[in-house]
Amino acid sequence: MIEPSLQSRRKFLQNVGYISVSFSLFGGCIGKADPAMASRVDYLGNLPGVMKQANKVNSWLEVLGDGRVRVLSGKVELGQGIRVAIQMVAAEELDMDLEKVEVHLAETGVTPNEGYTSGSASIKNSAMSVRYAAATARGELLRLASTKLNVPMESLTLFNGVIRSTANKKSVTFQELLKGAQIETEVTTPVRIKSKDDHRYVGKAIPREDIKKMVLGNQIYIQDLRFPGMVHARVLRPPSYRSELVSLDDSQLKNAVPGIIKKVVNGNFIAVIAEREYQAVKAERYLKMHSKWIIPEVFPEMEKLYDHIREIADEPENIRNDGDVKVTFEKRKTLKATYTKPYIKHGSMGPGCAIAMYDREVLHIWSNSQGIYPLREALAAMLKMDKGKIHIVSVPGAGCFGHSTADDAAADASLLALDYPGKHIRVQWSRTDEYSWEPYGSAIIADIEVSLTESGKIEAWKSDIWTDSHSTRPNSDPGTLLVARHLENPMDMQSRGYRGGGHRNGDPYYDIPNLQLNAHYYDGPLRVSSLRSLGAFANIFAIESFMDELADKAGKNPLDFRLEHLEDKRAIDVIQKVKDMTVSQMIAAGEGLGYAFSRYKNTDAYASIAVKVVVDRSKGLVSIIKMWAAIDVGEVINLDGIKNQTEGGMIQAASWTLKEQVKFDNVKITSTDWSTYPVIRFSDVPEVEVSVIDRPDQPALGGGEAAGPPTGAAIANAIYRACGRRIYNLPITPKKIFS
Amino acid sequence: MPKYILNINKTQREVEVESDTPLLYILRDNLELNGPKFGCGIAQCGTCMVLIDGDAVVSCTLPVSSVGISEITTLEGLADKEGKLHAVQEAFVKEQAAQCGYCLNGMIMSAVSMLNKNPNPEVVDIKKALQLNLCRCGAHTRMIKAVETAKNL
């Protein structure tokens, strides 16, 4: 459901007559009355994320006129289930039924500026901020009730929006206490939070209310949002990177296609606005056929991509240096391997879409951007507008797994809205444009060199990671928006974004006395940005593949070899758990069982993966039979959310590992649809089993990116166990197994 | 512009559109049905599926002129008059078989279409029936389970 702010709600609802359906969820299905007040403990740690700045309760929650609570979070829903997790945390601290808590996600001017929804940080930052705000609100409401009812605090119980006194049997509701005001108390530590033993929701598997809407077609995605009088636009993209428009003959466009309202040309940006969506589709096709372009050769030879990367990379930057790798390597023969991962796509099921409307004062934008405040910065810079005059509402989108095309579509729509004020303009990207222009996950090379002691322990480890940027997300640089580069006065991207993501997990989590990590940054040919887990997928593929090779060299069982290099009990536990989950597996001829482990970012969630495959080497065919995960995200918020993310993370990573590679020729991207960029289908999908180790005493961490990185290596290791073939270069195609 | 009378969700709907307009655009843009989704426009991903006379077909490449008097059912038309969900819809909720849910329309349509013909499918039949439908979130295993659950509802 779209939930605009109070300020914009009235206006919004007038405009969105079509979006009317919402129905109550699992009303009170978990836990009923809670008259005995749950015990509380002091939280003494730091305040999370932006709560250090946005530290007032009313930045995070409001009590509505009917006594329900609205939580405000700057994060967006991408199918990861953050909405329900935040709702659970707030309902828990306020002792309310879940259905009495609604969650308003990112909207400029309304919710806190929580930057991007990325890096598995929404639980750690946003949900925890909401926890402390809700706990503080509870304390303040009790204090107000004590005064109002003239009874001591100790005699009060608070449940489901009503505070009762056991002393004089009087009661008062939240809204009666506040009378339309909000709680402006600052959140300060210690915060009295509910004791985890008394949780009713947190840690349990709570169903998502949005899935009920989805099965009826009532979940409103950005693509589904509709306004009265809304018009439809399509953008004719250049045929390739750096193409220049030579000529455009649109003299017969209006005769050829009915319903054309307007054509907009600004440099290499060409768009058409029509009354009906399919008219815009046809108009774009027409313009494509009637345009001429200079199409330069901009890409290197794809087959030599990795050589090209080594040629263009900067001098290496040392990221970590423990002990003395160099001296150790001089003493012993070392083992070396190189692993590669190609460019891969986000591959969102829903191509980019956005709606914008300029009311001649404020530019309103509806977007599934992962960061509406940073998007506003970029738009303000591109449009040379005061950012106070740009209002962005976050609307759910199809899963996008990082910085995909949502922001670019918002930029397209904004340009058109300024050109054609007063109308809601909907821009929808085609699949081909999505696939030709989205920023990909960077290609990565990992060179690893290791020496083992005589007893077969790792003595020294050196990782050299070649990587492009891992975030070119919108910021104050307008060149982060695709369309800015195509305007008559083009704005190219000034910086190279966040390159540090490339060496994420490039240094093994194992206890190794001499350890060196170097990053070789390159500014590569393809547009790149954040893709789920950033460099961790490639780096863990390399590290965990090599761990298996090293175990073999040392003559050890691969899991025991890993355990010998770990002291962190939580790491040991996930490995032990996945070992237990697979202990009864029988391995037939042609089958193999492979394992891998990682701790995401080396600071966050722990995951250990096992994969069983069967390989037909004569045909090069790999079938995954089953995948297992043991995961530890600290304190679990929504158990089913973690399971769902972990299952999906494994399956998506299996797709990356076995199928995916962005292909290109000298002038353009050639992976332009689902046939030229195949992904996993049902026939390839194995069984999956997830075990979650709940640690209520540990900080809650995000789990969305934990399972993917070790999955790639576990598959490669399983294939090696099955057929003796070690694959170093992703994807693991039949040709590589066969040859 | 020609007029077409379409049988959609047991109701006759008249639309005035160009004859080459694919059914998907009519359902979404003219008739404001959000069940079928635009995913590729080239019949490769299944997000736009509808039932035509009980069979799941992609609507993004199907010109309106070829639909004729066929019975079209969209996701919105699966629940019965009293609002009781179709068994497949109910099972997808029960198994929480979605992440972003953008592909869910196609998954449900394919599953309903298969169960119309084979009320007791094995996992291999379910996978075959959903083979044309892509899911990027990796919710496949839950969807398979949901279809298995649906056959018992």
Choose, out of A2, A22, A215, A436, the residue to mutate when testing the contact with B (most B CBs < 10 Å).
Answer: A215
Where is average pLDDT lowest: A165-174, A622-631, A678-687, A707-716? A165-174
User: Which of A369, A404, A435 represents a domain boundary (last residue)?
Assistant: A435
What does the alpha-carbon distance between residue A12 and residue A371 come to, in Å, rounded to a whole number?
Answer: 21
Interface test with A, best of B84, B89, B99, B126 (most A CBs within 10 A): B99
Could you tell me if residue B66 is inside a domain?
Answer: yes
Q: Distance (Å, rounded) from C-alpha A27 to C-alpha B138?
A: 29
**CB spacing of A278 vs B45 below 8 angstroms:** no
Do residues B20 and B51 share a domain?
yes
Share of chain A above pLDDT 90, in %: 93
Residue A272 has pLDDT above 50, yes or no: yes
- Asked if residue B109 and residue B50 are part of one domain, the reply reads no
Whether A341 maps to a domain, the answer reads: no
* Cβ neighbourhood burial of A489 (10 Å; 0-12, 13-18, 19+): exposed
pLDDT in tens, A718-734: 999 999 999 999 999 99
Q: Measured between alpha carbons, how far is A486 from A240 in angstroms, rounded to an integer?
A: 11
The verdict on B7 and B69 lying in the same domain is: yes
Which chain A residue is nearest to residue B39, measuring alpha carbons?
Answer: A350
pLDDT digits (tens, 9 = 90+) for A319-354: 999 999 999 999 999 999 999 999 999 999 999 999
CA distance to partner chain B, nearest, from residue A378 (Å):
26
B46 torsion bin: left (phi>0), alpha (psi -120 to 50), beta (else): left
Judge if A662 and A683 occupy the same domain. Answer: yes
Contacts of A222 (CB under 8 A, 6+ apart): A350, A353, A354, A355, A366, A367, A368, A395, A396, A397, A406
B141 touches chain A (CB under 8 A): yes
Domain that holds residue B105: 87-150
Final residue of a structural domain among A400, A435, A470: A435
Contacts of A224 (CB under 8 A, 6+ apart): B28, B34
Residue ranges of A 601-640 with Cβ closer than 8 A to chain B: 640
Note whether residue B82 is domain-resident: no
B109 with B145, same domain: the answer is yes
**Count of CB contacts below 8 A, A vs B?**
177
The answer to whether A638 and A738 have CB atoms below 8 angstroms apart is no
Residues B41 and B95 in one domain: no
Residue type, A633: V
Query: Which helix H or strand E contains A393, and what residues bound it?
Result: strand A390-394
Query: Residue B137 and residue A211: Cβ atoms within 8 Å?
Result: no
Q: Is any Cβ of chain A less than 8 angstroms from the Cβ of B1?
A: yes
The answer to whether A350 contacts B102, with C-beta atoms less than 8 Å apart, is yes
Q: Tell me, what amino acid is at A123?
A: I
Yes or no, beta carbons of B136 and A217 under 8 Å apart: no
> How many domains does chain B contain in total?
2
Q: pLDDT tens, A10-57? A: 333 333 323 322 233 333 334 444 456 789 999 999 999 999 999 999
* pLDDT, averaged across chain A: 94
3-state secondary structure string, A149-188?
A: HCCCHHHEEEECCEEEECCCCCEEEHHHHHCCCCCCCECC
Q: Identify the CATH number of the domain in which residue B41 sits.
A: 3.10.20.30
Residue B8 located in a structural domain: yes
Structural domain includes residue A324: no
| A207, A239, A266 - which closes a domain | A207
Q: Based on the structure, what is the number of domains in chain A?
A: 3
Interface test with B, best of A212, A675, A682 (most B CBs within 10 A): A682
Q: What percent of chain B has pLDDT above 70? A: 100
Q: What share of chain A in percent tops pLDDT 70?
A: 95
Q: Summarize pLDDT for A54-71 with one digit per residue, the tens.
A: 999 999 999 999 999 999
* Cross-chain residue pair A431–B41, CB shorter than 8 Å: yes
pLDDT reported for residue A31: 42
Q: What is the pLDDT of residue A35?
A: 53
Domain match, B68 and B103 both: no
- Do both A426 and A475 map to the same domain? no
Amino acid, single-letter form, for residue A188: T
Residues B56 and B117 in one domain: no
What's the rounded mean pLDDT across residues B3-24? Answer: 97
Contact across the interface for A79 and B99, Cβ inside 8 Å? yes
pLDDT at A494 over 70: yes
CA distance to partner chain B, nearest, from residue A369 (Å):
14
A160 and A283 inside one domain: no
> How many Å apart are CA B97 and CA A673, to the nearest integer?
25
Task: State the DSSP string of A613-644.
Answer: EEEETTTTEEEEEEEEEEEE-SS-S-HHHHHH
A395 vs chain B: nearest CA distance in angstroms? 12
Residue A425 sits in the same domain as residue A547: no
A423 and A507: one domain? no
Q: Is residue A332 part of a domain?
A: no
Per-residue pLDDT at A169: 87
Question: Which chain A residues are within 8 Å of B131, Cβ to Cβ?
Answer: 681-683
Indicate which CATH number applies to the domain containing A617.
Answer: 3.30.365.10
Rounded CA separation A616/A496 (Å): 43
In this structure, the answer to whether residues A89 and A168 fall within a common structural domain is yes
- For the stretch A687-720, pLDDT in tens is 999 999 999 999 999 999 999 999 999 999 999 9
Do both B114 and B144 map to the same domain? yes
B17 contacts in A (CB within 8 Å)?
276, 278
pLDDT at res. A167: 86
Asked if A575 contacts A608 with a C-beta cutoff of 8 angstroms, the reply is yes
pLDDT of residue A25: 34
Residue A181 lies in a domain: yes
Q: Say if the Cβ atoms of A683 and B128 lie within 8 Å.
A: yes
Last residue of one domain, picked from the residues B15, B44, B77: B77
A316 part of a folded domain: no
Region A449-474: mean pLDDT is 97
Strand order in the sheet with A162-165: A156-159, A162-165, A171-173
Tokens of A576: 């032990």
Tens digit of each residue's pLDDT (9 = 90 or more) over A227-261: 999 999 999 999 999 999 999 999 999 999 999 99
- Amino acid identity at A620: G
**Do the chains contact at B29 and A431, CB–CB below 8 Å?**
no
Same domain, B53 and B104: no
Looking at CA atoms only, how far is residue B140 from chain A in angstroms? 7
Contact B25 A281 (CB under 8 A): yes
The answer to whether A215 contacts B104, with C-beta atoms less than 8 Å apart, is yes
Residue at B109 is within a domain: yes
**Could you read off the pLDDT of A581-618 as tens digits, one per residue?**
999 999 999 999 999 999 999 999 999 999 999 999 99
Query: What pTM does this model have?
Result: 0.94
pLDDT > 50? residue A6: no
- Pair B58, B18 in one domain: yes
Q: Judge if B70 and B91 occupy the same domain.
A: no
Token readout for A81 is 């289930």
Q: Is the domain of B55 the same as that of B34?
A: yes
- Closest C-alpha among A680, A692, A491, A498 to residue A581: A692
Chain A: give the shortest CA distance to residue B96, in Å.
7
Instruction: Mark whether A616 and A704 lie in a shared domain.
Output: yes
Q: Report the residue from B36, B41, B99 with minimal CB separation from A430.
A: B41
**Residues of chain A with C-beta less than 8 angstroms from the C-beta of B123:** none
* Shared domain check, A242 and A134: no
Q: A140 is in which domain, residue-wise? A: 6-207
Residue A619 lies in a domain: yes
DSSP secondary structure string for all residues of A59-97? HHEEE-TTS-EEEEES---SSS-HHHHHHHHHHHHHT--
Nearest-CB residue to A685 (from B28, B97, B141): B141
Nearest-CA distance from A17 to chain B in Å?
Answer: 11
C-alpha–C-alpha distance, residues A397 and A353, integer Å: 9
Sign of torsion over alpha carbons A539, A543, A548, A550? positive
How far is the alpha carbon of A179 from chain B, nearest alpha carbon, in Å? 38
- Same domain membership, residue A403 and residue A532: no
Query: Is residue B57 predicted with pLDDT exceeding 70?
Result: yes
Q: Is A644 on the interface with B (CB under 8 A)?
A: yes
- Nearest CA-CA partner of A172 in A181, A182, A159: A159
**Three-state secondary-structure class, residue A129:** helix
User: How close A571 comes to chain B (CA, Å)?
Assistant: 25
Helix (H, G, I), strand (E, B) or coil at A528: strand
A427 & A455 share domain: no
Residue A351 and residue B38: Cβ atoms within 8 Å? yes
Query: Is there a domain that residue A628 lies in?
Result: yes
Chain A residue with CA closest to B137: the answer is A648
CB distance from B118 to chain A under 8 Å?
Answer: no
Residues of B in contact with A685 (CB under 8 A): 127, 140-141, 144
Tell me the residues of chain A between 50 and 109 that have a Cβ less than 8 Å away from chain B: 78-81
Q: Quick check: is A309 in a domain?
A: no
* Chain B 67-96, residues with CB within 8 Å of chain A CB atoms: 74-76, 79, 85, 89-90, 92-93, 96
pLDDT of residue A347: 97
Pick the closest to residue A128 from A64, A52, A77, A200 (CA basis). A52
Residues 474-503 of A with CB under 8 A from B: none
- Under an 8 A CB cutoff, do A215 and B89 touch? yes
Residue B121 falls inside a structural domain: yes
**Cβ-based burial of B82 (10 A; exposed 0-12, middle 13-18, buried ≥19):** exposed
On the question of a cis peptide bond just before residue A558, with omega within 30 degrees of 0, the verdict is no
Asked if the structure places residue B118 within a domain, the reply is: yes
Identify whether residues A92 and A146 lie together within a single domain.
Answer: yes
| Upper half-sphere CA count for residue A642 (Cβ side, 13 Å) | 29
In angstroms, the CA A725 to CA A329 distance is 28
**Is A681 close to B134, i.e. CB distance below 8 A?**
yes
Euclidean distance between CA atoms A260 and A272, whole angstroms: 7
**Chain A residues 652-691 with CB within 8 Å of chain B:** 652, 655, 673-675, 679-683, 685-688
Decide if B28 touches A, using CB distance below 8 A.
yes
Residue B129 inside a domain? The answer is yes
Name residue A186's beta-bridge partners: A56
Please tell me whether residues A459 and A429 are part of one structural domain. Answer: no
Single out the residue of A545, A597, A593 nearest to residue A336, CA to CA.
A545
B112: domain CATH number is 1.10.150.120
Shortest CA gap A212–chain B (Å):
6
